[in-house]
Amino acid sequence: MTRTSDFLTLHMGNFAAGFTAAAASYFTPVTGAVLVTFAAIILDLLTGAWAGYVRREGVQSRKLWRTAQKLLLAFAVIMLAHAIDTEMAVGNVSTAKIAAWFFVGFEVWSILENATVISNYPVFRALKKLMQTEVKEKTGIDLNDEN
């Protein structure tokens, strides 16, 4: 072995640790947004599995895999948005937090749908209806439209 390959072999762990620490410190400002998004996606997974049990559908590995994909893609979008905010800032707008709000908003909608199936509790139906009405009034988007 050459001296260079010996050096690389001996210090690869140090390089990996340093790179990980640098990346973690760069993304520290969006840690809260990432954690809230993670919690919303996991809560949607749990309520979705519970709703599937109530509907007698069970848990499907395809849906679990979709959740893993959703987590990775949501984190990637939030981190990319943070990098854009940091390197090409436009005023005081945090596109990373806006992106996180979108992800969390869709997860809350799904959690409300699941909660309605699980409990049929009137509060969940009312919240779902209120959210649906607000979205339609403000954006023109019908959340019941499957297309």
Domain extent listing, the chain: 32-139
**What pLDDT score was predicted for residue 79?**
93
- The answer to whether 26 and 84 have CB atoms below 8 angstroms apart is no
In this structure, the chain runs to a length of 147
Give the pLDDT mean for 55-84. 88
Describe the crossing of helices 31-54 and 95-119 by its angle, rounded to 10 degrees: 20
Q: Which residue has the higher pLDDT, 140 or 51?
A: 51
Least confident of 4-8, 28-32, 56-60, 126-130: 4-8
**What pLDDT score was predicted for residue 145?**
67
Cβ-count burial of 56 within 10 angstroms (0-12 exposed, 13-18 middle, 19+ buried)? exposed
Give the pLDDT mean for 74-101. 89
What pTM does this model have? Answer: 0.76
Q: Is residue 65's pLDDT more than 70?
A: yes
pLDDT tier, 4 (very low <50, low <70, confident <90, very high otherwise): low
